[in-house]
Amino acid sequence: MGAQWKVKHKEAAANAKGRIFGKLSKEIMIAARSGADPDMNARLRLVVEQAKKASMPRETLERAIKKGAGLLGEHVHFEKLTYEGFAPHKVPVIVECLTDNINRTVSEIRVLFRKGQLGAEGSITWDFDHLGMIDAVAAKDEADADEAAIEAGAQDVEQGEEGVATFYTDTTDLDAVCKALPEFGFTVESAKIGYRPKNPVEGLSEEQIAEVEAFLEAIDSHDDVQNVYVGLAG
């Protein structure tokens, strides 16, 4: 299933576009705290590029930057919360949230985990690698993902669906690899620091996988959830 769980069905993904913009806006606002100029702010530059790829309206994008940088006279404060636990059938899950109301988020995420099992801090992350993740597509036919990974300084690469390759990097090398990949024929679609499972669960039946998917969809649909990482093979 890959390092980060994503909505599989195109219709569901289309219906979730508003949530995607909301999540990206939060990321932009947080990144813009360190400066409103993407050329001088590597973290902001990466998120802005991701927002453009997602077709975020220019007005929405610029407002999020100004709001995060404090240029609109508003003070935005989000807390990052990370939850670890299990989806049904002992599938490990890491959930990252950004919230302006910790008590609300804690309460609601606990309810969503009732169909799984919420774990203590550190109970799941040990079974994941924490690294940079770059989704990129070949800009030319002769582009070779394995060669690009080596030359750009990535640790590893995986071929995904619809021609998207995921390049994995050390957390400190994310921006450098993003800048290097176009030289080797790849266009960066998105980039972030995330989690990749070391021992993904295998051998679940279709019915069991459906239960896991339903759990993940409920988690991902929560407004404060930014990213969901799952240790499930396939």
At 53 the pLDDT is: 82
At residue 185, the pLDDT reads 93
Evaluate whether residue 118 is within a structural domain: no
Q: Identify the CA nearest to 227 among candidates 124, 82, 92, 110.
A: 82
Q: Pick from 66, 73, 80: which is nearest to 25 by CA?
A: 66
pLDDT (tens digit per residue) in 183-227: 999 998 888 899 999 999 999 999 999 999 999 999 999 999 999
Helix axes of 102-112 and 206-220: crossing angle, nearest 10 degrees:
170
CATH number of the domain to which 41 belongs: 1.10.10.200
The pLDDT value given to residue 160: 81
* Structural domain contains residue 43: yes
Tens digit of each residue's pLDDT (9 = 90 or more) over 124-165: 999 999 999 999 999 877 889 999 999 999 999 998 877 899
> Is 175 domain-assigned?
no
Q: Contact 51/31 with Cβ under 8 angstroms? A: no
Looking at 9-13, 18-22, 35-39, 43-47, which range is the least confident one? 9-13
Assigned domain for 27 exists: yes
- Note the pLDDT of residue 8: 54
Report yes or no on 199 lying in a domain.
no
How far, CA to CA in Å, does 21 sit from each of 16, 38, 160?
9, 18, 23
Q: How many domains does the chain have?
A: 1
Domain carrying residue 14: 10-68
Is position 124 within any domain?
A: no
Residue 90: inside a domain: no
pLDDT, greater one: 14 or 164: 164
In this predicted structure, what is the pLDDT of residue 2?
A: 45
149 lies in a domain? no
Region 115-121: mean pLDDT is 94
Is pLDDT above 90 for 171? yes
Does position 170 have pLDDT exceeding 80, yes or no? yes
The encoded tokens of residue 207 equal 């019915």
